[in-house]
């Protein structure tokens, strides 16, 4: 009967293939660790305290307030100096222009940065005259405007990208022994905006905190000392490495996928479930690898972050489903095999989890396409919902991994109980099937290792958002470039290895042969003939063997 390449490939050739794949995988980790810089760059700034003397903002004028340049605004150095006491708080506009001037040269943003996130870090001082409301976290109203322009334009050419009024809940705390005039509160970061592309060379942010006697917003927040804005963007050097990886891997996986499917259809039989699922996994991986991000260097594509999240989610769903089916198809006691309906319970759970992830991303990323200042973390209800979703998703990922470990353990246990049937075989056949079982167990261990790294990758991706969106500066989790490029390369190496090893072999195992093992001891490959398979349901000799022993 025919088998797959994993079963018919000689030991020496298989060893060379495995070593080559391990070297390629090591190269991905080394590229991230030695070549690529850190994934993200953080710019910590203090906004300029501009004064809107003519109250243009309140009149509805969209004229920007510049912190520097020929048209720089009139500003005050401190919000508590004598000069500031004469200024109406509604006339204060906090302004910041990025990037900065370095060594008398105006730096510019780069489209390689890919995305731009802004968060607010308020320095609130304790004062008995205007105390911070500790009984109920005060609600703040921020009127924000975001501008952009190119380097060959003048200060009169700033374009208004977005303008919005947003509410944020200010969470601050202070130790009891620190309640003295001028002592600072420890306040959480406030999300300000998020852009899915860095299209302009310069960006300008203007924020106003309006005060009204009728409304309660921006009241009881203590004495504001400094308005800090933290900007986070993807590092350009990391982006170049990431794009290069995708550009190289995309045609490689696509070629392996075409070769695999050509091998399958050349057998002249109907495909089995493992082959169809593996082919689907290759398609989804190719979609994720497709380097459409290159277009962001020429066009303004703010939806690219959302598109990448959708592609990543589809890959997660397909990869998790494949592992369940792949292990299940090798279950000895599985009565219904080669049927997708046999896995409907597991598939439903995986798809519902991925659907929830998609809805979560659409609620935030989707709204940000229209309003970059929107944040699901801005309200108490939205923050609790988002935090709960991340915790549930992380726990679900761990439960899935434990369940996969249980399935693999069950397969290993069942194989051990059925190995007694090998005693009744000829020496040649016993050696052959023992080799298949060893190769399969090794592949299962690699699969568990890949699953473990995938779960860790997913959980860290969710938790790392807490550094800026949960408002906790003590969270210092950060993707290293080596881990990012290594795990991404691992997915591609793993899928390409499966496409190569689980492709139907043109070789044929003579099941009734009683060849003398002594004549085969110096052979590097099992003596096989070039007889094509006619089995419509089994593509693997090991699967056929396991099904037969289970039936017996």
CA angle (346, 352, 358) in 5-degree steps = 140
CA separation, residue 406 to residues 328, 336, 402, 544 (Å): 11, 19, 6, 23
Confidence of residue 194 (pLDDT cuts 50, 70, 90): very high
Distance between CA 476 and CA 172 in Å, rounded?
20
> What is the per-residue pLDDT for 498?
92
Please report the DSSP string for 294-340 in residue order: GGGGTS--TTHHHHHHHHHHHHHHHHHHHHHHHHHTT-TT-SS-S-G
Beta bridge partners of 227: 122
The answer, yes or no, to whether residue 193 has pLDDT greater than 60, is yes
* Residue 219 or residue 258, greater confidence: 258
**How far apart are the C-alpha atoms of 387 and 393, rounded to whole Å?**
10
Confidence of residue 23 (pLDDT cuts 50, 70, 90): very high
For residues 148-157, give the mean pLDDT.
91
Over residues 63-77, the mean pLDDT reads 89
Question: Distance of CA 223 to CAs 76, 85, 94, 297, Å?
Answer: 16, 13, 15, 43
pLDDT at 5 over 70: yes
CB atoms within 10 A of CB 102: 8
Closest to 89 (Cα-Cα) out of 265, 209, 232, 180: 209
- The structure tokens 């979560």 sit at 360
Cα(290)–Cα(248) distance, integer angstroms? 10
Please tell me the distance from the alpha carbon of residue 535 to that of residue 338, in angstroms, as a whole number.
13
Tokens 């009984």 -> residue:
135
Residue 505: its pLDDT value, please? 76
Q: What is the pLDDT of residues 27-46, one digit of tens each?
A: 999 998 888 888 888 889 99
d(CA 178, CA 531): 84
Beta strands in 37-189 (DSSP E): 40-46, 48-51, 75-76, 92-98, 101-102, 105-106, 116-125, 139-149, 159-169, 172-173, 186-187
DSSP strands (E only) in 136-222: 139-149, 159-169, 172-173, 186-187, 190-195, 202-208
Question: If you average pLDDT over residues 465-494, what whole number do you get?
Answer: 71
Q: Residue range 520-536: average pLDDT?
A: 38
At residue 421, the pLDDT reads 62
Q: Where are the beta strands (DSSP E) in 209-365?
A: 223-234
Rounded to whole angstroms, how far apart are CA atoms 22 and 176? 57
The pLDDT of residue 541 is above 80: no
What is the Cα 258 distance to its own chain's centre? Answer: 27
Q: Pairing between strand 504-509 and 528-529?
A: antiparallel
Which of 156-165, 179-188, 318-327 is predicted least confidently? 179-188
Give residue 472's pLDDT. Answer: 52
Predicted confidence band of residue 412 (pLDDT cuts 50, 70, 90): confident
Asked if pLDDT for residue 489 goes beyond 90, the answer is yes
Residues 6+ apart with CB under 8 A from 236: 110, 112, 113
Question: Which strands sit side by side in the sheet containing 528-529, from one edge to the other?
Answer: 2-4, 504-509, 528-529
pLDDT of residue 271: 84
Domains of the chain listed by start with CATH number = 2-39+237-551 (1.20.1070), 40-234 (no CATH)
Helix (H) or strand (E) holding 210: none
- State residue 440's pLDDT score: 80
> For residue 470, is pLDDT > 80?
no
Categorize the per-residue pLDDT at 449 as very low, low, confident or very high, splitting at 50, 70 and 90. Answer: very high
CA distance 366 to 363: 6
Is it the case that residue 245 has pLDDT exceeding 90? yes
Average pLDDT over residues 50-64: 87
Output the pLDDT for position 485. Answer: 92
pLDDT score of 457: 87
Residue 60 confidence class, pLDDT cut points 50, 70, 90: confident
Question: 93 or 58: which carries more pLDDT confidence?
Answer: 93
Q: What angle do CA 308, 312, 318 make, to 5 degrees?
A: 145
% of the chain beyond a pLDDT of 90: 34
Is the pLDDT at 143 greater than 60, yes or no? yes
Question: Which of 95-104, 121-130, 198-207, 508-517 is the least confident region?
Answer: 508-517
> What pTM did the predictor assign?
0.84
Query: Which pLDDT score, from 0 to 100, does residue 240 have?
Result: 94
Q: Which long-range contacts (CB under 8 A, 24 or more apart) does 336-344 make?
A: 337/273, 337/547, 338/272, 338/273, 338/537, 339/273, 340/273
- Which ranges constitute the DSSP H helices of 464-526? 466-469, 481-501, 517-520
What percent of the chain clears pLDDT 70, i.e. is strictly above it?
Answer: 82
Q: How confident is the model at residue 550 (pLDDT cuts 50, 70, 90)?
A: very low
The pLDDT confidence band at residue 220, using thresholds 50, 70 and 90, is confident
Taking alpha carbons only, the member of 41, 231, 201 closest to residue 108 is 201
167 pLDDT above the threshold of 60: yes
Residue 129 in contact with residue 97, Cβ under 8 Å? no
Given a cut of 60, whether residue 516 has pLDDT beyond it is no
Per-residue pLDDT at 12 exceeds 60: yes
Residue 548 has pLDDT above 80, yes or no: no
| Mean pLDDT, the chain, whole residue set | 81
Q: Is the predicted pLDDT of residue 414 greater than 50, yes or no?
A: yes
Under the banding of pLDDT at 50, 70 and 90, the label for residue 170 is confident
- What confidence tens digit (pLDDT) does each residue in 365-407 have? 888 899 999 988 777 777 788 888 888 888 888 999 999 999 8
């Amino acid at each position: 009967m025919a088998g797959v390449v994993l079963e018919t490939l000689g030991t020496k050739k298989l060893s060379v293939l495995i070593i080559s794949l391990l070297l390629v995988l090591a190269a991905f980790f080394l590229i991230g660790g030695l070549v690529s810089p850190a994934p993200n760059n953080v710019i910590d700034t203090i906004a300029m305290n501009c004064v809107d003397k003519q109250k243009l903002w309140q009149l509805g004028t969209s004229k920007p307030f510049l912190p520097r340049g020929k048209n720089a605004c009139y500003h005050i150095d401190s919000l508590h100096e004598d000069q500031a006491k004469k200024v109406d708080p509604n006339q204060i506009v906090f302004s910041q222009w990025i990037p900065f001037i370095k060594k008398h040269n105006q730096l510019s943003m780069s489209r390689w940065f890919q995305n731009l996130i802004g968060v607010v870090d308020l320095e609130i001082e304790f004062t008995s005259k205007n105390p911070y409301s500790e009984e109920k976290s005060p609600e703040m109203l921020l009127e924000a405007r975001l501008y952009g322009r190119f380097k060959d334009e003048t200060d009169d050419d700033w374009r208004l990208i977005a303008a919005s009024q947003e509410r944020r809940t200010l969470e601050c705390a202070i130790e009891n022994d620190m309640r003295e005039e001028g002592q600072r509160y420890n306040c959480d970061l406030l999300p300000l905006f998020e852009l899915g592309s860095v299209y302009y060379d310069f960006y300008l942010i203007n924020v106003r905190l309006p005060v009204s006697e009728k409304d309660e917003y921006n009241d009881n927040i203590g004495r504001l000392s400094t308005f800090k804005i933290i900007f986070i963007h993807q590092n350009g050097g990391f982006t170049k490495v990431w794009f290069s990886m995708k550009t190289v891997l995309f045609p490689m996986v696509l070629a392996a996928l075409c070769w695999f499917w050509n091998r399958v259809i050349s057998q002249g039989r109907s495909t089995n479930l493992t082959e169809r699922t593996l082919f689907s996994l290759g398609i989804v991986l190719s979609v994720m690898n497709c380097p459409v991000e290159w277009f962001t260097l020429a066009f303004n594509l703010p939806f690219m972050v959302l598109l990448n999240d959708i592609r990543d989610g589809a890959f997660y769903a397909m990869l998790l489903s494949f592992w369940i089916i792949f292990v299940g198809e090798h279950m000895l006691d599985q009565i219904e095999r080669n049927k997708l309906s046999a896995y409907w319970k597991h598939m439903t759970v995986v798809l519902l989890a991925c659907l929830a992830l998609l809805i979560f991303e659409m609620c935030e990323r989707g709204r940000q396409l229209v309003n970059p200042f929107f944040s699901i973390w801005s309200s108490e209800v939205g923050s609790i919902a988002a935090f709960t979703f991340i915790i549930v998703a992380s726990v679900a990922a761990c439960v899935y991994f434990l369940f996969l470990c249980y399935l693999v353990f069950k397969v290993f246990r069942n194989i051990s109980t059925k190995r007694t049937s090998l005693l009744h075989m000829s020496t040649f056949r016993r050696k052959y099937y023992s080799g298949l079982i060893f190769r399969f167990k090794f592949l299962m261990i690699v699969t568990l290792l890949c699953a473990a790294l995938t779960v860790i990758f997913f959980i860290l991706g969710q938790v790392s958002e807490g550094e800026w969106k949960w408002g906790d500066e003590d969270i210092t989790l950060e993707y290293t470039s080596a881990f990012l490029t290594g795990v991404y390369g691992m997915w591609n190496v793993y899928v390409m290895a499966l496409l190569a090893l689980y492709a139907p072999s043109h070789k044929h195992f003579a099941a009734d042969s009683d060849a003398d093992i002594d004549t085969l001891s110096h052979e590097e490959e099992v003596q096989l003939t070039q007889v094509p398979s006619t089995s419509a349901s089994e593509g693997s000799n090991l699967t056929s063997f396991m099904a037969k022993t289970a039936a017996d």
